[in-house]
Amino acid sequence: MSGGVISMVVAPWILACGFLLCSSSFLGAEGAIGVNYGMLGNNLPSPAQVISMYKAKNINYVRLFHPDTAVLAALRNSGIGVVLGTYNEDLARLASDPSFAASWVSSYVQPFAGAVSFRYINAGNEVIPGDPAANVLPAMRNLDAALKAAGISGIPVTTAVATSVLGVSYPPSQGAFSEAASPYMAPIVAYLASRGAPLLVNVYPYFAYAADAERVQLGYALLSASQSASVTDGGVTYTNMFDAIVDAAHAAVEKATGGQAVELVVSETGWPSGGGGVGATVENAAAYNNNLIRHVSGGAGTPRRPGKPVETYLFAMFNENQKPEGVEQHFGLFQPDMTEVYHVDFAASS
């Protein structure tokens, strides 16, 4: 999860991406909606109960932040599409030791490959820019090679990034990777383009709103159809911040690849229902997530990619009591006792 503030001259309510900077066709799941299954809680239901909840709530895709054999076992024959992450602390070994990558695949992918629908493997979450960034692409290459050596095909290997990789994000058409991130992102997106694999991006309009609620219109951040704010950029109009952020990332990728297409998957997005943050209410969280599901599932895509819905994963399934105090403990759709924090209509994503 990412969020923060930078200094940028922007018009009111146009802070679509600027304040986030400190912060498909793949397997036929364009416009699919999934939910992140975070496990930083000491009071969460068992994996079997959680996967049963996914099925009962019509949630057809899940993202796991790290490999967990109990969860993977619960996912067998569930039909749920799975994004499987590595621990960030494993990136150095995955990058430097091909035998470790082979062992990782043999432990967490091979035993489940026939019965679990793996969508992507992401090597690291939100480590670019930063000290571990240099390990990401070598880790991706070694995991790719390990999958191939194991006879496993059709699982793209990628990474998940925060919007902190962007140095320019407004207007969206001028999106570009920062000087700190570009040396890592440019070869990564070129590699993804060569493999036909997507880049995973964590997108949080909430943090843009919370950083400057006096100037960012709430409706623009919440994808509320009734709001009147919009941003015009190169002849296209943005009526919500989510699309603006996604398209700024699209523009950055295109600049880095010389125009080669790389699909984006929104691997995290959400809104806190409590914790004391600006705008962190049950009503706003319910509005954001339900509006987002309708928007993504409607098939309109973004202004830069009209008609190409974005595969999107909500954060997160549960309120997690071992995350940092404050809003981070309140992004869950459900309480640990499996009751709803608020109702989310996943039927709209079917």
pLDDT, averaged in runs of 10, over the chain (350 residues): 34 34 39 94 98 96 98 98 98 98 98 96 97 97 98 97 94 96 98 97 96 92 82 91 96 94 96 98 98 93 93 98 97 98 86
Question: Residues 254, 263, 268, 311: which is the catalytic one?
Answer: 268
- pLDDT at residue number 347: 83
pTM (two decimals): 0.92
Contacts of 148 (CB under 8 A, 6+ apart): none
CATH topology for 31-332?
A: TIM Barrel (3.20.20)
Selection from 7, 29, 37 nearest residue 19 by Cα: 7
- Strands (DSSP E) contained in 203-273 are 231-233, 236-238, 264-269
The answer to whether the beta carbons of residues 236 and 303 sit under 8 Å apart is: yes
- 283 annotated active-site: no
Q: Is 254 a catalytic residue?
A: no
Q: Residue 73's CB: how many other CB atoms inside 10 A?
A: 15
Please report the pLDDT score of residue 234 as a whole number.
87
Separation between Cα atoms, residue 207 and residue 25, nearest integer Å: 29
From 126, 254, 320, 328, the catalytic residue:
126
User: What does the pLDDT read at residue 186?
Assistant: 97
Q: How far is CA 13 from CA 28, 176, 210, 246, in A?
A: 35, 21, 12, 17
Distance of alpha carbon 320 from alpha carbon 40, whole angstroms: 5
